[in-house]
Chains A and B, each alone.
Chain A
Amino acid sequence: MHLHRSHIYGVMGEFGDPEELIHAVQKIREAGYRRLDAYAPFPVEGLSEALGLKRNLVPAITLLGGLGGGLTGFLFQVWANVSSYPINIGGRPLNSWPAFIPVTFELTILGASLAAVFGMLALNGLPQPHHPVFNVHRFSHASSDRFFVCIESRDPKFHLADTARFLQSLHAHHVSEVSDD
């Protein structure tokens, strides 16, 4: 039998607990698959290593956000007090920089936090109303007590039947194909 790949997102295997999942993922990668993702109801220790995830931009973005917030905050206060509207407040110098520190600090934190959260969401491509994996009926358990791995059809080694069989060989409780629409 022959199916159009275009209609297939990938093949999904379901596992009972984190250990099985990690074990499966390792096997799949050993088998040479690269385009795959795992799904778990909570962050599973060791899973990212098993998947070989390295690059993570979130910290860098956060740092930039923090620096941006802090610098703008401080410079703005100096500008507002010294050049935009200089005014004698209780005989204090125009650039009373020590008094500007608290606001600078708060803005640093604010900038960093906003960057962290929205950076994370952006990198994760969230919000994303729909995703093919949701087509799998049992996937609703991914948010409670089941663990899934999905080998995507984009993977050069992907062949619907073989990959499915391969997943079964890893003692997946269920193997189901993930349609693309």
Chain B
Amino acid sequence: MSAGQPPFDSPEIRRLTPVIGPGYTYGSVTDKISAIVLTRPTSLGWYVGFLIAFSLMGMLTVAVGWLIIKGVGIWGINIPIGWGFAIVNFVWWIGIGHAGTLISAILFLLNQKWRTSINRFAEAMTLFAVACAGIFPLIHTGRPWMAFYMFPYPSTMGLWPQFRSPLIWDVFAVSTYGTVSLMFWFVGLIPDLATLRDRAVKTPMKIIYGMLSMGWRGSARHWYRYQSAYLLLAGLATPLVLSVHSVISFDFSIAIVPGWHTTIFPPYFVAGAIYSGFAMVLTIAIPLRKVYGLEDFITMRHLDNMAKVMLATGLIVAYGYFMEFFMSSYSGNKFDVFLVQQRLHGPYAPFYYALILCNILLPQLLWSFKMRHNVAVLFIMSIVVNIGMWLERFVIVVISLTRDFVPSAWGRYSPTFWDWATFIGTMGMFVTLIFLFVRVLPAISIAEMRELVAETSEDEK
């Protein structure tokens, strides 16, 4: 902790950086948050932003369409580099998703009050990120229309998926992850949907929100079961989120490719995922609170804590890099040793150094209290980390493949226009979904904010 910073979570720091602005009542939080969805007029900015994002999403449709027509050959992949952008982006997006689950599940179990005002859109972010991620494993196959072979259905040939393959583990892990995140998110939404139902003025709104809220009436009995179910979900989502990225890391660590075949991957993939995830939450939270004036709900305390989590996970990742180095040198395996040298001196060395800069060096600024409390810095930092984590996946997936065992087969990879179009397209899709989300659903959990109001009022008593 840098100088001039009070000890963590002291009453003083709560005063300095509360999790909710002063003077809020049940009614006022409800009004303020639901207003964004119900009464507040849609701003021109929203339309502009949405249109930009949506047109990028259109580009994704074109890119995928062309891919289906011509084949994966339109990408930069080749032999020996069979996996390129598609897998890099897949891992990157999944990783981003993890922060949402982490915030809503793990912080919930740890009873961290500050999670309350960010968990809702963090979970939404998870869902959208998983949606973006899910596109890639599907379209990266040579024959996407045959992808259903990967599911265990009774086929006429009596064949089943090959359960030893990490790709099949992926199928189960990612689909489970998607399902659970969706349920977690929706369960959390039910009371707020009820609120919107009761406050909506337009009849169609009433009907839609009414259907979605399933007739929730806040009965104490319901709350009783609701809470235990929510707690259980959180308890289940926690190991799930850890397992999902471990499984993703198996895609590489199960293979024998030098640079992939290492046991450190699961922990350091998970850490990396959380790292990039929190970065993405910041990237979204900072503009969101500004635009919708939610500074009182998403306070400096939140940003500060997220920055700290980034710092911590960033250090774990750094440790991972170091151990990769150490182990390959220590093992004396000539292929691993060679790979390490490749990263430092090979044709792709600049990427590796950029990665070190983005993921290890720059984030050290976050040690400083001032930096953590400078919104602009945090925003830039979050972008930097997102880039850094993308580079990490690029280094792992692509560079390891360029120069493996047999020198005669060595090659290189560079993305084509279509690689970029697909990648940027998914970003467009992600942002589009975020835009829609903040427009039609409460970006902050109203019910939990009321709880927070109650608790803080107790604190004051």
* Interface residues, chain A, with chain B CB atoms under 8 Å away: 18, 37-44, 47-48, 51, 53, 56, 58-59, 62, 66, 76-77, 80-81, 84-85, 89-90, 92, 96, 99-100, 102-103, 105-107, 109-110, 112-114, 116-117, 119-121, 123-124, 126-131, 133-134, 139-145
B190 to A, closest residue via Cβ? A126
Contact of A37 among B25, B160, B219, B448 (CB under 8 A): B219
Whether the pair B217, A41 counts as a contact (CB closer than 8 A) is no
Interface size for B (C-beta < 8 A) is: 59
Q: Which of these, A51, A59, A96, A107, contacts B232 with CB under 8 Å?
A: A59
Minimal Cβ-Cβ distance residue in B for A126: B214
Please state if B451 and A110 are interface contacts (CB–CB under 8 Å).
no
Closest to A120 in B: B229
* New A-B pairs, 9, CB < 8 Å, besides A43-B227, A102-B173: A42-B450, A48-B223, A56-B225, A85-B160, A96-B164, A117-B187, A119-B229, A126-B214, A145-B26
18 contacts between A and B (CB under 8 A): A40-B218, A41-B195, A48-B220, A58-B225, A58-B232, A66-B236, A84-B158, A84-B160, A100-B163, A102-B169, A102-B172, A106-B172, A113-B179, A113-B183, A128-B215, A140-B199, A143-B195, A144-B30
User: CB within 8 A of A143: which of B168, B183, B194, B226?
Assistant: B194
CA A139 to CA B27, docked complex, whole Å:
14
Q: Is the CB of A39 within 8 A of B218?
A: yes
Residues of A within 8 A of B243 (CB): 102, 105-106, 109
In angstroms, Cα B195 to Cα A113, docked, is 25
Interface centre among B163, B194, B195 (most CB of A within 10 A): B163
Q: Mark B167-182, 1 if CB is under 8 A from A, else 0.
A: 0110011001001100
Roughly how many angstroms separate A41 CA and B191 CA in the complex, as a whole number?
Answer: 8
Which residues of the partner chain B approach A127 to less than 8 Å between Cβ atoms?
214-215
A10 to chain B, nearest CB (A): 13
In the complex the two chains form, is B229's CB within 8 Å of A142's CB? no
**Chain B, residue nearest A69 (CB):** B176
If A124-B225, A126-B214 touch, whether A110 touches B176 (CB-CB below 8 Å) is yes
Q: Which of A53, A92, A120, A142 has the most CB of B within 10 A?
A: A120
Please tell me if B111 contacts chain A, counting CB pairs below 8 Å. no
Contact string, B438-450, partner A, CB cutoff 8 A, digits 1/0?
0000000011101
B residues 105-162 near A (Cβ < 8 Å) are 152, 158-160, 162
Residues of A within 8 A of B199 (CB): 140, 143-144
Asked if B240 is at the interface (CB within 8 A of a chain A CB), the reply is yes
Q: Are A120 and B30 CB-contacts (below 8 A) given A96-B164, A142-B218?
A: no
Q: Is B301 on the interface with A (CB-CB < 8 A)?
A: no
A41 nearest CB across to chain B (Å): 5
Q: Which residues of A contact B30 (CB under 8 A)?
A: 41, 144-145
User: Which residue of chain B lies nearest to A148 when distances are taken between CB atoms in the complex?
Assistant: B218
Chain A CB within 10 Å, residue with most, of B216, B219, B243, B247: B219
B224 contacts partner chain A, Cβ-Cβ < 8 Å: yes
User: Which residue of the partner chain A has the closest CB to B177?
Assistant: A106
Query: Is B221 touching A37 in the complex (CB atoms < 8 A)?
Result: yes
Do A109 and B236 touch (CB < 8 A)?
A: yes
**A58-B229, A102-B243 are known contacts. Are A42 and B172 too (CB-CB below 8 A)?**
no
Q: Which residues in chain B, 228-285, are within 8 Å of chain A measured between CB atoms?
A: 228-229, 232-233, 236-237, 239-240, 243, 247, 250
Q: Is B12 an interface residue (CB 8 A)?
A: no
- The smallest C-beta distance from A141 to any residue of chain B, in angstroms, reads 8
In this assembly, does B454 line the interface, its C-beta being within 8 Å of a C-beta of chain A? Answer: yes
